[in-house]
Amino acid sequence: MTAPRRATPRGIAAYPAPTLPVVTRVQIALRLFMIQSAWNYELLLGNGVGFCIEPALRRLPGGKDGTAYREALARESQYFNAHPYLAAVAVGALARAELEGAQPARIERFRTALCGPLGSVGDRLVWAGWLPFCSLLALAAYGLGAGPGAVLLLFLGSYNVGHVALRAWGLSVGWRNGMRVAGSLATPVLREGPAHLARAAALLAGIALPLALGRAIGPGRAVLGGVVIIVAVMGALAARLPSWLQGWRLALGVLAIWIAYSLATYTVAR
Amino acid sequence: MADLPLVSLTALGAVLGLDAVSFPQAMLSRPIVAATLGGAVVGDAVSGLLAGAALEFVALETLPVGASRYPEWGSASVVAGALIGAYGEASPGSLSVSLFAAIATAWIGGWTMVQLRNANAAMARRLRPAINAGRPNAVVGLQFAGLFADFVRGGLLTILALLAFDPLMHAALGVWGANARYSRAVAIAVVASVASGAVWKLFRVTLGARWYLVAGLALGLLAMALL
């Protein structure tokens, strides 16, 4: 049997204040790493959100066989879009809203409202900030002569400290604040972090690219100097490429021409 | 042809292909990691790291944002690391051909990810009544089916790319006419050009970032000259 939902002035708390045992939190946290496993063009992250919240929903009145559980699981498995790491905020907040027995229409509106901020903030903070920063840090270490183990340790260690911390923070802040989580998204780290990170990554890019270039080319000042000039000119041109002609396509084409030339040189020499 | 440990490389390509989107997105699939591991599997992690650093230059340009189509670097970088590790970075042309193989594989990998997302969507449509009824088996089953399909996708992509590019690399290096030093310089110049364009595009929109970039470049070029 489902416990009756009680209407409240704010439409939030209808069941007793919910608790989430450590085991359930761990289950949700582990499932968050799989949130995108069934990513598709119909539901996007939707099924993943339902999948992650499912352990919490078992605590609804009636348990896994109850109507409340099934209704909530169906609701939480519909279309949803967000950055995969910051989706943890939504998972925590929606789990709380469901366990508090908030009105379904209100949960659906809240769910829709979360998509935009969690997507754009996550993309700027992680994909355009933290990931390039850690990648450039690894390239700088490579340029300074670090070996394979040290480079991998530095990259994976630094990146995943931020990655795991962001997921853990998201789940925690979402659960703590429930449907009032919007205020937590205005934290300085999320609001101003991407710009600070971009500046730090820009500084690091300037340092890392010449160093990594130097090590990858190997000894010989003349060749290195020539390559630096070519890279500066070609880089300026690459920055002006139309968006459809991405750099990797151009690199593929130039490498194909270079390989064909090198094979032709052998044939001519013979 | 090189004596490649195909089973180990396929397993590695499957796991790292999975990391790109499905599980756990810990960036094990970044070229600097995946190519180094690919090289390590064939016994030459240092050559793998060279290919990984070169591909990381290119990967700086692609942001794995949601629904956009982008190259899948995990499996592709395993292929690059294994090829350059097997033939040796000192072999003239080995870097050029392994980078070409990796970027081509990453391109095809991006296409396979789109197909996987379409297949997941078809499965989601089939399971829609069960999902709408709140059946946990449907929700959890869809998630694990997607995970398994992505694992298979990464593994298949890796082994097919190795089977295609290993003989090509063997044949190309046998008749490689260009000087070893210039071959390496050209390959690195190409990928570094992509990186410098990418860095400019990425950071120019942030207030003041271009000055940080210029300051960093001054430091970087000075350090490069001193080292």
Residues of chain B contacting A266 with CB distance shorter than 8 Å: 175-177
Q: Do A231 and B202 touch (CB under 8 A)?
A: no
Residue B107: CA atoms inside 13 Å, Cβ hemisphere, count?
14
Is there a domain that residue B136 lies in? yes
Residues of chain B scoring pLDDT < 50: none
A127 → chain B, closest CA residue: B63
B17 at A interface, C-beta within 8 A: no
How far, in Å, CA of A145 to CA of A142, rounded? 5
Position B159 scores a pLDDT of 98
- pLDDT value at A3 more than 50: no
Chosen for mutation from A73, A191, A268 (greatest number of chain B CBs closer than 10 Å) is A73
B131 at A interface, C-beta within 8 A: yes
3-state secondary structure of A44: strand
- CA separation, residue A246 to residues A243, B58, B62, B70, B75 (Å): 6, 10, 9, 10, 20
- pLDDT value at A2 more than 50: no
Is there a domain that residue B102 lies in? yes
Q: Which long-range contacts (CB under 8 A, 24 or more apart) does A175-179 make?
A: A175/A20, A175/A25, A175/A92, A175/A93, A175/A95, A175/A96, A176/A92, A177/A93, A177/A96, A178/A12, A178/A93, A178/A96, A178/A97, A178/A100, A179/A12, A179/A93, A179/A96, A179/A97, A179/A102, A179/A106, A179/A107, A179/A110
Q: Nearest Cβ partner of A259 from B23, B30, B97?
A: B97
Digit-coded pLDDT (tens) for B85-139: 999 999 999 999 999 999 999 999 999 999 999 999 999 999 999 999 999 999 9
Q: Quote the minimal CA–CA distance from B78 to chain A in Å.
A: 14
Position B117 scores a pLDDT of 96
Q: Do A247 and B133 touch (CB under 8 A)?
A: no
Higher-confidence residue: A3 or B153?
B153
Position B108 scores a pLDDT of 98
Which residues, listed in sequence order, are joined to residue A125 by a DSSP beta bridge?
A: none
Residue A142: CA atoms inside 13 Å, Cβ hemisphere, count?
35
Mean pLDDT (chain A) is 92
How far, in Å, CA of A155 to CA of B176, rounded? 35
- What ranges do the domains of chain A cover? 22-239
Position A7 scores a pLDDT of 46
Q: How many interchain CB pairs under 8 A, A with B? A: 350
Position B2 scores a pLDDT of 80
Q: pLDDT confidence of A5, banded at 50, 70, 90?
A: low
For residue A66, what are its two tokens? 């109850």
Higher-confidence residue: A228 or A222?
A228
Q: What is the largest CA-CA distance in chain A?
A: 89
Q: pLDDT confidence of A39, banded at 50, 70, 90?
A: very high
Digit-coded pLDDT (tens) for A121-177: 999 999 999 999 999 999 999 999 999 999 999 999 999 999 999 999 999 999 999
Q: Structural domain tally of chain B? A: 1
Question: Which residues span the domain enclosing B216?
Answer: 6-226
B191 at A interface, C-beta within 8 A: yes
Most confident of A188-197, A219-228, B102-111: B102-111
Position A184 scores a pLDDT of 87
B180 at A interface, C-beta within 8 A: no
Is there a domain that residue B87 lies in? yes
B73 at A interface, C-beta within 8 A: no
Is there a domain that residue B1 lies in? no
Q: Do A265 and B177 touch (CB under 8 A)?
A: yes
Mean pLDDT (chain B) is 95
- pLDDT value at A71 more than 50: yes
B108 → chain A, closest CA residue: A249
Q: Do B216 and A202 touch (CB under 8 A)?
A: yes
Q: Do B185 and A84 touch (CB under 8 A)?
A: no
- pLDDT value at A247 more than 50: yes
Residues of chain A contacting B124 with CB distance shorter than 8 Å: 38, 40, 42-43, 47
3-state secondary structure of A270: coil
